[in-house]
Chain A
Amino acid sequence: MSAKKIFHSTTFKLITSFLGATLLQSILFLSLGANLLNQVMRAETENRIRMDLNAAREIYSANIAAVRGSLFYTALAPDFASMVEDRNGQELSDILSMVARSAGLDFIGIQTADGKVLNAKMGGDFRPEESENSIAEQVFGRMVPVAGTVLADRAFLSAQDPGLAERARIKILPDYEKAAEEKNILSAGLVIAAGVPVLREGRVIAVLYGGMLVNRGITIVDTVKDTVFQNETYKGSSVGTATIFLNDVRVSTNVMTAEAVRAVGTRVSPEVRDRVLSKGGRWIGEAFVVNDWYITAYEPIEDLDGKKVGMLYVGVLEQKYNDIRRKILSIFVLITLAGMALAVGLGIILSRRILSPIVRLIRASRQVSDGSLTPDIGPLAGDEIGVLQSTFMDMVREMGRRRSESETRLLQSEKQASVGRLAAGVAHEINNPLTGVLTYTHMLLRRKDLSDDMRSDLQVVAESTERVRKIVKGLLDFSRQTRLDPEPTEINRVVASTIQLVENQALLKGIAIRFHPGENLPVLILDRSQIRSVFLNIIINAIDATDPGGSITIYTASALSVSESEQTGVEITIADTGCGIPAEHLDKIFDPFFTTKEVGQGTGLGLAVSYGIVKRHGGTIRVQSEKGRGTRFFVWLPVKEGTAFAVGAEE
C-alpha cells in the first residue's frame, strides 16, 4: 500500500468518523429541537390565543355593558317615567332616537306593562305588541335590568325596523349549505341587547329595551382585530381574525373568503360545532377556517336563558408560525451543514497534521531499506508521533551501529584469516633456520676461548633469537588451527584460578585485584585452558596499564548477547583503573601485531589470539575505554554449545 493511499484512506476514515459524529449529533439535535420547538410554539400560541379569546370576550361584554348603560341612564332620567306614563309618544320617540344614535344602538323601544310598544322607528305611536319580546319579558319577570345576547327572530326585528330584519337575513354560502330540507337562509339575528325597568312609584310601568344586531355588524370583530391583534398583517392577510357565530354560521367576521369578502354565511367545521355548541366547551387548536389554517379559539355565546346561541372565535394565521418554525428549522439545518463542512475541513487538516509525519516516516523507512542510514523524517512532532519518530531514528541509528559492528567483526575475522595463513607459512619456514641460529650460537657460547667482546656479542645474538622465537610462537598460537577441548566449566573457578596466577605480580606492583563472582551462573562448555589464557592476557594487560595503587575489578554475571539473537550466556567484565586506551586505538587492539607496549615488551598478538579463542567459543569480546580513567573488557560466552565449537579457525 503506497503512502499516498494510506494517507487518503486514513483521511477518509477520519473525515467519515467526524462526519458520522456530527451527523448523528445533528440529527438528534434537529429532531429534538424541532420537537421542542413545536411544543413550545404550540403551547405559546395556544396560550396566546386563549388570552386573545378572553380579550375578545371582554370586548363583547363591554359592548353589552355599553348597551345596558345607555338604557339605564336614559331610564333614570327624572321625567322619563312620567313621560312613559303619560304616553308622551313624540317626545319619547325623539329621546329614543337620540339615545340610539349616541349609543350606536340598532334598535331601541319601550314596552309598557299593558302590552303597548313604542320604538324609535315608529314615530311616536304606542302600538300593541306584535312580536315576542324576550328582553322585555325577562325584565318584567325579574324587575331588574337585564343585558346579554339574544336570538331575535325576524318578526321581532321587523317590528323594530324592517331594514334591520333585512340586514339580519343571511344566505348560507353554497359550499356550506346543508341538506335540502334544512333552511339555508338565516333570518334570525344575534342581538346584543339590554332591558331596564321604567319605575313609577315602585311599580314597573314599562321596560326600556334596545340593542345592536350582530349580523353583518363589524364593530365588535374589528375592535377585536384592531385592539387584540393590532391589525397585524402577514403576507397580505390579517394575522388575527375574530368571528361571532349564530349557531354555527358566521354572522359577523373579518375572516375573508377567497374572493376577499367577509366570510359571512359560512359555517364552522362540524368538529368545532360539536365541541363548542353541543358540549359547551372551548376549542383551542388548529382549525381550517374558511380557506386557511388558523390557530383558533372558540367558545360558546349564551343567551339570557343560558342557551347556547352562538360562538365567539379568534384565530391567528398558522402560516406565520409555520414560517417561523420553518425558518428556525432551516437555521438548524444550516448550522448542521456548516458543522459537517467544518468536520470535513477539520478531518482534512487533522489528518494532514497527524499523517504527514507518518507519511514521512514511511518514506524514511523506504530510504532505510534502500540503504540510507540518514533518512529524512522531517521536523519532530511534539506528541506520540514525535515519540514514534525519535524511536524510529533510534532504531535506524542502532541498525547503523550494528551494521558497522558486524562489518568490523567481518573485517576482523578476514584480517585474522589472512594473518593466520601468513603466520603459519612464515613460522614453518623460519623455525628451521632459527634452529640453526640457536644451535650454532649456543654451541659457540660453550667455547671457553671466546673473548669477552665476542661472548657478549654472541649473547646479544642469542637473546635476539629468543625474541624471534617468541614472536614466531605467538604467531603460531594466533594462527594455528586449534581444536577446542571443551568441557563443562564453572566460569568463576576459571577466573579465580587465573587471578591466582597473576596475583603476586599485581601485588608486587601495588595493584589490588578484586573479584565479584556472580551467583547461580550457568555451567559453560569451554576449553578451560584457552579461556584462561584469554583472561590471563587481559588481566596482564590491565596490570601493565595500571599504576601502583590502582585496582582491577572482575565481575561475572548472566547476560544476553549484545547481538540480535539475544542468546543467554555469561559476561565476564574486567575493569581497570589504568591509563585507558586512546579512542583511535580502540578499533585496532584486536588486530594482530598491534601493540602500544615498548618494543620487546609485547608481541601484539595477545588480544588477537584472545579474540580468536572467544570467537571460536561463539562468544564476543568488547572493550570500552576512557583515556585516563580505565578500560573495561567484556567477554561474553554463550551457555549452549553453539555451532562455533565445531568450526575450527581458518586454515
Chain B
Amino acid sequence: MKVMVVDDEKIVLDSCRKVFSAEGWEVIVEPSADSAIEALTTVRPSLFLIDMKMPVHDGMYLMDRIKEKAPGVPVIVMSGYHTREAIEESKKKGAVLFLMKPFTPDELVEAVRQVLEPKGA
C-alpha cells in the first residue's frame, strides 16, 4: 500500500503523512505536480491523492500525466474550493473520488479505503 500525496501546502502533506503512517501505509508526498511527475519515474504508488489547485501545473494537468505514466492507478482529487464544476471536471478526467477539504483523519482514511477496498471486495 503506497499513497502518493501531491499538494503545494505543506500542512496538507504533513497531515496526510501523519494519518496514513498511523494506518501503517507507505506515503510519498510531493509539493508540486512537476516533482510528482518526476518521482513517478522511480516509484509506482497504488493510489494518488492530489490537490486540484496548485501553482505552475494543477491537478488536472497532473492527472493527464498520471494516465500516461501510471495508467490504471486510481486518483482521488481533493480541493478546498469544491465547486460543482471542479467536481465534474475531475470526474471527467478519471478521478474516482472528490474529497472536500478540510477533512478529518477518519474521513481521509475512509475515502482511501472506499477506493482501494470496495465493499464486498
Give the CA-CA distance A142 to B117 in the complex, in Å.
175
* A176 located at the interface, meaning its Cβ lies under 8 Å from any Cβ of chain B in the complex: no
Closest to A482 in B: B84
Give the CA-CA distance A469 to B100 in the complex, in Å.
11
Q: Which of B59-104 contact A (CB under 8 A)?
A: 80-85, 100-104
A439–B83 touching, CB < 8 Å: no
* A388 located at the interface, meaning its Cβ lies under 8 Å from any Cβ of chain B in the complex: no
Report the minimal beta-carbon distance from A347 to chain B, rounded to whole angstroms: 74
* B44 located at the interface, meaning its Cβ lies under 8 Å from any Cβ of chain A in the complex: no
Give the CA-CA distance A546 to B88 in the complex, in Å.
40
- Collect the chain A residues with CB atoms within 8 Å of residue B82's CB: 476, 480
Give the CA-CA distance A442 to B109 in the complex, in Å.
12
Report the minimal beta-carbon distance from B23 to chain A, rounded to whole angstroms: 11
B85–A431 touching, CB < 8 Å: no
Point out which of A424, A436, A473 has the most chain B C-beta atoms below 10 A from its C-beta: A436
A427–B84 touching, CB < 8 Å: no
* A432 located at the interface, meaning its Cβ lies under 8 Å from any Cβ of chain B in the complex: yes
Closest to A462 in B: B104
Point out which of A429, A432, A443, A482 has the most chain B C-beta atoms below 10 A from its C-beta: A432
Known contacts A428-B53, A432-B80, A483-B84; is A438 also within 8 Å of B9 by CB? no
Q: Which of A416-433 contact B (CB under 8 A)?
A: 424, 427-433
- Collect the chain A residues with CB atoms within 8 Å of residue B19's CB: 439, 443
Give the CA-CA distance A465 to B104 in the complex, in Å.
10
- Collect the chain A residues with CB atoms within 8 Å of residue B106's CB: 442
A435–B83 touching, CB < 8 Å: no
Report the minimal beta-carbon distance from A530 to chain B, rounded to whole angstroms: 10
B80–A436 touching, CB < 8 Å: no
Give the CA-CA distance A439 to B103 in the complex, in Å.
7
- Collect the chain B residues with CB atoms within 8 Å of residue A440's CB: 15, 18
A443–B105 touching, CB < 8 Å: yes
* B12 located at the interface, meaning its Cβ lies under 8 Å from any Cβ of chain A in the complex: yes
* B38 located at the interface, meaning its Cβ lies under 8 Å from any Cβ of chain A in the complex: no
A443–B18 touching, CB < 8 Å: yes
* A35 located at the interface, meaning its Cβ lies under 8 Å from any Cβ of chain B in the complex: no
- Collect the chain B residues with CB atoms within 8 Å of residue A473's CB: 100
* A481 located at the interface, meaning its Cβ lies under 8 Å from any Cβ of chain B in the complex: yes
Report the minimal beta-carbon distance from A440 to chain B, rounded to whole angstroms: 7
* B14 located at the interface, meaning its Cβ lies under 8 Å from any Cβ of chain A in the complex: yes
A435–B85 touching, CB < 8 Å: no
* B1 located at the interface, meaning its Cβ lies under 8 Å from any Cβ of chain A in the complex: no
Report the minimal beta-carbon distance from A236 to chain B, rounded to whole angstroms: 121
* A434 located at the interface, meaning its Cβ lies under 8 Å from any Cβ of chain B in the complex: yes
A481–B83 touching, CB < 8 Å: yes
Report the minimal beta-carbon distance from B18 to chain A, rounded to whole angstroms: 6
Give the CA-CA distance A207 to B75 in the complex, in Å.
176
Report the contact-size class of chain B (Cβ under 8 Å from the partner): 20 to 34
Closest to B21 in A: A443
* B11 located at the interface, meaning its Cβ lies under 8 Å from any Cβ of chain A in the complex: yes
Report the minimal beta-carbon distance from B82 to chain A, rounded to whole angstroms: 7
B103–A435 touching, CB < 8 Å: yes
Known contacts A431-B101, A439-B104; is A482 also within 8 Å of B11 by CB? no
Report the minimal beta-carbon distance from A527 to chain B, rounded to whole angstroms: 10
* B22 located at the interface, meaning its Cβ lies under 8 Å from any Cβ of chain A in the complex: yes
- Collect the chain B residues with CB atoms within 8 Å of residue A435's CB: 9, 11-12, 15, 80, 101-103
- Mask: chain B, 36-55; 1 = CB below 8 Å from A; 0 = not: 00000000000000000100
Point out which of B7, B11, B22 has the most chain A C-beta atoms below 10 A from its C-beta: B11
B80–A431 touching, CB < 8 Å: yes
A431–B102 touching, CB < 8 Å: yes
B12–A480 touching, CB < 8 Å: no
B104–A438 touching, CB < 8 Å: yes
A442–B104 touching, CB < 8 Å: yes
A439–B18 touching, CB < 8 Å: yes
Q: Which of A60-117 contact B (CB under 8 A)?
A: none
B102–A434 touching, CB < 8 Å: yes
Give the CA-CA distance A469 to B104 in the complex, in Å.
11
Give the CA-CA distance A480 to B9 in the complex, in Å.
22
Give the CA-CA distance A429 to B101 in the complex, in Å.
11
Please name the 8 residue pairs, one residue from A and one from B, whose CB atoms are nearest each other, closest first: A431-B80, A439-B15, A436-B11, A434-B102, A431-B101, A435-B102, A432-B9, A480-B83
Beyond A431-B80, A436-B15, A465-B102, 18 extra complex contacts between A and B, CB < 8 Å: A429-B80, A430-B80, A431-B81, A432-B9, A432-B12, A432-B80, A433-B9, A435-B15, A435-B102, A435-B103, A436-B11, A438-B105, A439-B18, A476-B81, A476-B82, A476-B83, A481-B83, A482-B83
Contact residues of A with B, CB < 8 Å? 424, 427-440, 442-443, 446, 465, 469, 473, 476, 480-483
Would you mind naming 15 contact pairs between A and B with Cβ atoms under 8 Å apart? A424-B81, A430-B80, A432-B7, A433-B9, A434-B80, A435-B12, A435-B80, A438-B104, A438-B105, A439-B19, A439-B104, A440-B18, A442-B105, A473-B100, A481-B83
